[in-house]
A and B are shown apart, each in its own frame.
Chain A
Amino acid sequence: MTDLTHLTIAEASKKLTAKEFTALELTDAYLSAIDAANGTLNAYTTVTPDLARAQASASDQRIASGSAGVLEGIPLGIKDLFATQDVHTQAASHILDGFKPKYESTVTQNLWDAGAVMLGKLNMDEFAMGSSNESSYYGPVINPWRADGSTENRVPGGSSGGSAAAVAAFLCAGATATDTGGSIRQPAAFTGTVGIKPTYGRCSRWGIAAYASSLDQAGPIARDVRDAAILLKAMASVDPKDTTSVDLPVPDYEAAIGKSLSGMKIGIPREYRVEGMPEEIEQLWQQGIAWLREAGAEIVDISLPHTKYALPAYYIVAPAEASSNLARYDGVRYGLRVDGKDIADMYEKTRAAGFGDEVKRRIMIGTYVLSAGYYDAYYLRAQKVRTLIKQDFETVFHAGVDAILTPATPSSAFAIGDKELAADPVKMYLNDVFTITVNMAGLPGLSVPAGLDAHGLPLGLQLIGKPFEEETLFQVASVIEKAAGTFTPKKWW
């Protein structure tokens, strides 16, 4: 029998329905893989074998009785940011030590309702703040990809580094992730996986620990475009508990795969070239353009003039919201408490011990930009920039562009503990330069693997679509995927 963990969701579903193996066997195959690999890759913060086996057995019963859901028996990993009832939910932060919620996030509930099985909780940057998964209280996740002939450990990207690494290393069939500035797409690009951040409002945020509420959005990371489409359909829903979720029918994203691009207009933004970007990324981009042109799409040059302001504006808006969202972690009701001589002392000691450096940095930036006398100069201006960025996209979409093609990241996966990046947080922030505009405008963005760099590390292309037109992204991404093929790391762990 082939390794069950190497099947895509689509393949595994067919075989489960055909009773070629049981859901329990599939789950056990993943649990064994996790057992063998997690000590090295550190993708999971917690594994839930008992729960997984119980869910898998229930799936087998439903398959037997002919009442299987669309994800019946499919073993998934869940980012630690999603509340999962009675299971470790700590946003990879010390401050949520021991926190096991009595509730289930809407997105994960949707997945369980579709028959999925939970393998455990996935490592991430603390409170989703980071681009390398190095800010986790549980230590960095190791990218299953290494440069050719090298034994140096690379980052899987972040903040959904555990999700991307687990999917790439066959430690789950697919994973939930979240994306505030690129946290799905950048790790997907670094690990040769497919990740989509849907339109803001497509997935409920209820039960997902908030980083920056106006930017946060859940989405899947998967092995291929089809699996990403299957997962997003199951995750997405309107939710009366999240009034920013949108009441639009969730289309059959899978049906968009393989449709012709003929008559479609793909925009190429001239502003998505940054200083010091490796030549091979430019080449990859040109290759992507060529593939789409060959597939019948019309390629048009476009301008998104406010792109360069997106990153600085993001690093005002996101920390501002974070500084307020993270105020609830105060040691009073749950998680870590470090006693102090009075309440203020307890707050200070708890938060000093509970939050890592990157989280503290963003809380301080956010507190500063919202302070009296600075609000207008920073927060208000950043919001105005955000409006301009949104208008940039509206203008090109209004002019007939169906989707926009850009590189996903300005580089391939970098080394863990990169000194230059560690010394200069702003350099780290530049990782999200291509992805952040999408969050600022609330648009859907998808990262699809398109090739390997000179060192054999995966590179991704990003597709940006109109609001709630994720179907277009799956349609175009499937063309790139078909041309580029899929990418699997050589097993060394």
Chain B
Amino acid sequence: MTLVDVRISEPKRYIPGATGDWEVIIGMEVHAQVTSQSKLFSGSSTVFGNAPNSNVSLVDAAMPGMLPVINEECVRQAVRTGLGLKAQINNRSIFDRKNYFYPDLPQGYQISQFKDPIVGEGKIVISVGPDRQGQFEDVEIGIERLHLEQDAGKSMHDQHPSMSYVDLNRSGVALMEIVSKPDLRSSDEAKAYLTKLRTILRYLGTCDGNMDEGSMRADVNVSVRRPGEDFGTRCEIKNVNSIRFVGQAIEYEARRQIGILEDGGTIDQETRLFDPGKGETRSMRSKEDAHDYRYFPDPDLLPLEFDQAFVDALKADLPELPDDKKERFVAELGLSVYDASVLVSEKAIADYFEAVAAGRDGKIAANWVINDLLGALNKAGKAFEETPVSPAQLGGIIDLIKDGTISGKIAKDLFEIIWNDGGNPAELVETRGLKQVTDTGAIEKAVDDIIAANPDQVAKVQAKPSLAGWFVGQVMKSTGGKANPQAVQALVKVKLGLED
């Protein structure tokens, strides 16, 4: 792989050092567990959290004479992902063996793809920001390749004083290794890349992206250089398992490397581990200790070949991806780019929004979902999936505003009632007497009462008509917010003789 610098060095991303500015260069290798019922080369279940060694077949345990058989669904998932990354799909790819000894690797080799991966070059557009001016910047990050490989099992070293235990449930589960080009230039970009990649995978349904369960892990390659110079020596930080840690690891590692270089030292190419407790990276093994994996084509598996029709069929069934959805929200529903970005950031949110917006005003629906629903969820510390308000309920609230049954203010109360207690919006309006008062007689009486009780204010307003809002507020208060605000405003003006 030849490394090509496709980015322009920009001072806003420079890291100031004691001897001048530095630039950080980042490339990512993301291991994403393929969403599939069974493993890459065996029929064992992939369910997370089962009893140790319960999802293990003869193939997974590498019994003598066992042979791998490719799981076609995993191939489809890899192709779908490749299409989602706008990548080259290779109709012929080859599985290789990566040889090394470890107790959680029963075969003594991992079946992976080395020279001929199933997916070639692609790209992801990330949005970074906002900056100090509130601007977002779209950056295209190159994808080098995606290949399929087996996961290893799990070694547990803390269960016995002198022995290690091995759980082979993960052994042989399909992973997609998605390798970016060294196109990332800050920890924020790296985090945005991981977030966007996860969003795409979740939209596609090819990986659940649950980093805490290990279904997505990142190896982060970090190097630093003086702006405009060639790439420096990189260190690889292995198996970082949260987006936040990726950011911390990069920040730490860039600082560490800058410190060494500014002291006149050189960077050793090595593999490092991130310690989330200490917030630092530490050396795992040097280049000299690197394994010689002795890759060679797996003779148990024929080259993986499929025709264009196979790819085309998957392409035709591909769901709408976040970038396309965002464009559509902006173009067809008139949303702002920012609002559209927020809504498409998670497929669940976008689906929810679309359900609310169906047959209603998109902008109003977007405001409710973003400001009210997401705001409330955020405040309550709930995940989006835990929302107590369904799209039908939220849609019902919006409908009640639109047909004038309730005011915007009452709608907020209604939302809170439904959030806490549930229920049908229209019925709640009836049973709790939240209906907007449009009867001008009742409103007129309320206006008259307020005017009669506040002669001083009347004088003030007549001198300065812009203060009429005070009366509107008082009337709304006295009617418990149920009065139609437009009607109140009109009446106040008439009664105070402010009409122009």
A and B are partners in one complex rather than unrelated chains: yes
Instruction: Show the binding face of A for B, using Cβ within 8 Å.
Output: 82-83, 89, 91, 96, 99, 101-103, 105, 205-210, 212-214, 240-244, 320-321, 323-324, 326-328, 330, 332-334, 343-344, 347, 367, 370-372, 375, 379
Residue contact B103 to A103, C-beta cutoff 8 Å: no
Docked-complex contact B64 and A83, CB < 8 angstroms: yes
Contacts of B99 in A (CB 8 A): 323-324, 327, 370
Check B106–A371 contact: CB distance below 8 A. no
- Assess whether B278 is interfacial by the CB under 8 Å rule: no
Expressed in whole angstroms, the minimum distance between the Cβ of A45 and any Cβ of chain B is 15
Given the interface pairs A212-B299, A213-B300, the reply to whether A324 lies near B294 with Cβ below 8 Å is yes
CB neighbours of B106 from chain A (8 A):
328, 332-333
Closest to B164 in A: A343
CB-defined A-B contacts under 8 Å, sample of 23: A96-B64, A101-B63, A102-B58, A103-B58, A205-B67, A206-B66, A207-B65, A208-B65, A209-B64, A241-B67, A243-B70, A244-B300, A244-B301, A324-B109, A327-B109, A330-B108, A333-B61, A333-B62, A333-B106, A370-B296, A371-B292, A371-B294, A375-B294
In this assembly, does B302 line the interface, its C-beta being within 8 Å of a C-beta of chain A? yes
Could you say which of A207, A214, A327, A347 contacts B299, with CB atoms under 8 Å apart?
A214
Closest chain A residue to B61, Cβ basis: A333
Chain B residue numbers with a CB within 8 Å of A212 are 299
Q: Which of B288-317 contact A (CB under 8 A)?
A: 292, 294-296, 299-302
Report the Cα distance A214→B299, complex, angstroms: 5
* B interface residues, tally (CB under 8 Å): 29
List CB contacts (< 8 Å) of B366-384 with chain A: none
Given contacts A214-B299, A321-B299, A327-B101, contact A205 B294 (CB under 8 A): no
Q: Count the A-B residue pairs with Cβ separation under 8 angstroms: how many?
A: 96
Task: Write the chain A residue with the least CB distance to B64.
Answer: A209
B107 an interface residue at 8 Å Cβ cutoff?
A: yes
Given the contacts A327-B99, A328-B108, A334 and B65 also touching, CB distance less than 8 Å: no
B interface list, Cβ under 8 A from A: 58, 61-70, 97, 99, 101, 103, 106-109, 164, 166, 292, 294-296, 299-302
How distant is the Cα of A11 from the Cα of B295 in the complex, in angstroms? 51
**Minimum C-beta distance from A354 to chain B (A):** 13
Q: What are the 5 A-B residue pairs with the smallest beta carbon separation, nearest first?
A: A327-B108, A214-B299, A370-B294, A213-B299, A209-B64
Other-chain residue from A242, A330, A372 in contact with B292 (beta carbon distance below 8 A): A372
- B64–A375 CB distance below 8 A: no
The answer on a CB contact under 8 Å between A209 and B65 is yes
- A344 nearest CB neighbor, chain B only: B101
Most A-side CB within 10 Å, residue of B66, B106, B107, B295: B66
Shortest C-beta distance, A144 to chain B (Å), equals 29
User: In the complex, A142 Cα to B292 Cα: how many Å?
Assistant: 42
Which chain A residues lie closer than 8 Å to B63 at the CB level? 83, 101, 103, 334
Contact status A328-B69, CB under 8 Å: no
Residue among B63, B64, B65, B299 facing the most chain A CB atoms (10 A cut-off): B64
Q: Tell me how far the C-beta of B289 lies from the nearest C-beta in chain A, rounded to whole angstroms.
A: 13
Give every chain B residue within 8 A of A320 (Cβ-Cβ): 296
Q: Nearest chain-B residue to A331 (Cβ)?
A: B103
Select which of A240, A328, A344 is within 8 A of B107 by beta carbon: A328
Residues of chain B within 8 A (CB-CB) of A105 are 65
Alpha-carbon distance A117/B289, docked complex (angstroms): 53
User: Closest residue of chain A to B301, judged by CB?
Assistant: A243
Cα–Cα distance between A333 and B106 once the two chains are bound (Å): 8
> In the complex, which residue of chain A has the Cβ closest to the Cβ of B155?
A343
In the complex formed, the residue of B with least CB distance to A212 is B299
Contacts of A91 in B (CB 8 A): 64
Contact B294 A89 (CB under 8 A): no
In the complex, the answer to whether B108 meets A206 with C-beta atoms within 8 Å is: no
Contact A324 B301 (CB under 8 A): no
CB distance from A343 to the nearest CB of B (A): 6
* A244 partner residues in chain B, CB cutoff 8 A: 67, 300-302
Q: Are A240 and B69 in contact (CB under 8 A)?
A: yes
Specify which chain B residues have a CB less than 8 angstroms from the CB of A82 in the assembled complex.
65
Name 15 extra pairs, CB < 8 A, besides A210-B64, A241-B67. Answer: A101-B64, A105-B65, A213-B300, A242-B67, A243-B300, A244-B67, A321-B299, A323-B294, A326-B108, A327-B107, A328-B107, A332-B103, A333-B61, A370-B99, A375-B295
Q: Which of B67, B300, B302 has the most CB of A within 10 A?
A: B67
Given the complex of chains A and B, what is the CA–CA distance between A205 and B300 in angstroms? 9
Interface centre among A242, A244, A332, A372 (most CB of B within 10 A): A332
- Look across to chain B and name the residue whose beta carbon is closest to the beta carbon of A320: B296
B69 to A, closest residue via Cβ: A243
Q: Which residues of A contact B66 (CB under 8 A)?
A: 206-207
How far apart are the CA atoms of A360 and B481 in the complex, in Å? 88
A372 vs B290: C-alpha distance in the bound complex, in angstroms?
11
**In the docked arrangement, what's the CA distance between A275 and B108, Å?**
41
Query: What is the bound-complex CA distance between A278 and B101, given in angstroms?
Result: 46
Chain B nearest CB, measured from A113 CB (Å): 18
Residues of B within 8 A of A210 (CB): 64-65, 300
Tell me if A347 and B65 are in contact (CB < 8 A): no
A83 CA to B301 CA, complexed, in Å: 21
Cβ contacts under 8 Å, B164 to chain A: 343
A326 to chain B, nearest CB (A): 8
| Chain B: minimal CB distance from A319 (Å) | 12
Given A327-B108, A328-B107, A347-B101 in contact, is the A206-B296 Cβ separation under 8 Å? no
Give Cα A91 to B292, complex, Å.
Answer: 28
* Shortest Cβ distance from B41 into A: residue: A243
B294 touches A206 (CB 8 A): no
What are the residues of chain A within 8 A of B70 when measuring CB–CB? 243
Taking a contact as CB atoms under 8 Å apart, the answer to whether B69 and A375 are in contact is no
A5 to chain B, nearest CB (A): 30
Complexed CA–CA distance, A453 and B101 (Å): 49
- Max chain A CB contacts within 10 Å: which of B65, B106, B164, B296? B65
Complex Cα gap A79–B103 (Å): 29
A375 contact from B61, B62, B67, B296, Cβ within 8 A? B296
Distance from A129 Cβ to chain B, minimum over Cβ atoms (Å): 15
Look across to chain B and name the residue whose beta carbon is closest to the beta carbon of A240.
B69
**How far is B64's CA from A91's CA once the two chains are assembled, in angstroms?**
10
| Cα distance A206–B63 in the bound complex, in angstroms | 11
Complex partner residue of B97 from A207, A324, A344, A371, CB under 8 angstroms:
A324
A372 to B293, CA, bound (A): 8
Cα-based distance from A491 to B103 in the complex (angstroms): 50
Q: How far apart are the CA atoms of A205 and B61 in the complex, in Å?
A: 18
A367 and B97 CA atoms in complex are apart in Å by: 13
**Chain A, Cβ-Cβ closest to B300:** A213
